[in-house]
């Protein structure tokens, strides 16, 4: 039982390049989330999904797109990377309908855009 | 605008000290308040609080919620160097997806 995994762990991009971050969970959770964490800013929600085939915008969605084609995977895409997207990206998941709001986090992806 | 404010932003204490971390919130649709500990990587869950006045405890850590005054505290007694971390407070909103709104965190450093 690996929990929540993220690929890659580190990446350096040049401005204007594109990439996709992959999040996978093996806990059969309904809900999945993408956050970014910047120094002194806490975690901010980018996009989230309440089930396969659904996505919704969070607090800071601009410059990102997401897809949830399979229940266990949640992809975060950057179409044209900008230096302002340099950050640590965390994926999280949680089960629906349990009364527990705890989200389980992946280990993070450190992205640098030069 | 929903917001969660933590104080202090950073704290340095000596081993054995007791610390209190604060979290206040202003949100439109409160569901629960959660505390996380973040060391080098992913945040790990500590507590979830939904009712006022009921203390949650786990070893040397405890937390309580006041829904009238809109705040929570996290206490750590007899601190150890292993308690050094960022402590994050988050509020879960009562909406589809139950999004979490995080505070900026309190960085705790415990010196030996």
Per-residue pLDDT of chain B (112 residues; tens, 9 = 90+): 889 999 999 999 999 999 999 999 999 889 999 999 999 889 999 999 998 988 999 999 999 999 999 999 999 999 999 999 999 999 999 887 778 999 999 999 999 9
Candidates A38, A42, A61, partner chain B, best to mutate (most B CBs within 10 A): A42
Q: Exposed, middle or buried by CB within 10 Å (0-12, 13-18, 19+), for A53?
A: exposed
Confidence of residue A97 (pLDDT cuts 50, 70, 90): confident
Q: Which residues 84-103 of B are in CB contact (within 8 Å) with A? A: 88, 90, 92, 96-103
pLDDT at A2 over 80: no
Residue of A nearest to B10 (CA): A40
Using CA atoms, how far residue A80 sits from A17, A46, A52, A66, B65, in Å, is 5, 16, 26, 14, 43
Q: Does A109 touch chain B (CB under 8 A)?
A: no
Out of A58, A100, A102, closest to residue B99 by CB: A58
Average pLDDT, chain A: 94
CB contact under 8 A, B41 and A33: no
pLDDT at B97: 79
Instruction: Indicate the SS3 state at residue B88.
Output: strand
pLDDT at A63 over 90: yes
Nearest to A45 by CA among B99, B6, B87, B38: B99
pLDDT at A39: 87
Confidence of residue A96 (pLDDT cuts 50, 70, 90): confident
Q: Does B34 touch chain A (CB under 8 A)?
A: yes
Calculate mean pLDDT across residues A78-103.
94
Strand partners, B48: B34
- C-alpha distance across the termini of chain B, in Å: 41
pLDDT at B104: 96
**Helix, strand, coil share of chain B (percent; to 5):** 5, 60, 40
């Amino acid at each position: 039982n690996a929990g929540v995994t993220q690929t890659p762990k580190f990446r350096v991009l040049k401005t204007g390049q594109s990439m996709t971050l992959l999040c996978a969970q093996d806990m059969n959770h309904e809900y999945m989330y993408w956050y970014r964490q910047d120094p002194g800013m806490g975690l901010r929600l980018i996009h989230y999904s309440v089930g396969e085939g659904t996505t919704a915008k969070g607090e800071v969605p601009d410059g990102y797109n997401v897809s949830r084609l399979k229940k266990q995977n949640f992809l975060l895409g950057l179409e044209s990377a900008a230096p302002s997207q340099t950050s640590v990206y965390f994926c999280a998941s949680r089960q629906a309908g349990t009364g527990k709001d705890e989200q389980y986090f992946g280990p993070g992806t450190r992205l640098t855009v030069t | 605008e929903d917001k969660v404010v933590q104080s202090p932003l950073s704290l340095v204490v000596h081993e054995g000290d007791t610390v209190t971390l604060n979290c206040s919130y202003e949100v439109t649709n409160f569901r629960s308040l959660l505390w996380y500990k973040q060391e080098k990587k992913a945040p790990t869950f500590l507590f979830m609080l939904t009712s006022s006045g009921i203390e949650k405890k786990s070893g040397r850590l405890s937390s309580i919620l006041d829904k009238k005054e809109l705040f929570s505290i996290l206490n750590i007694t007899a601190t150890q160097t292993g308690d050094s971390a960022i402590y994050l407070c988050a509020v879960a909103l009562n909406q589809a997806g139950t999004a979490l709104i995080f505070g900026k965190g309190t960085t705790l450093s415990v010196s030996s």
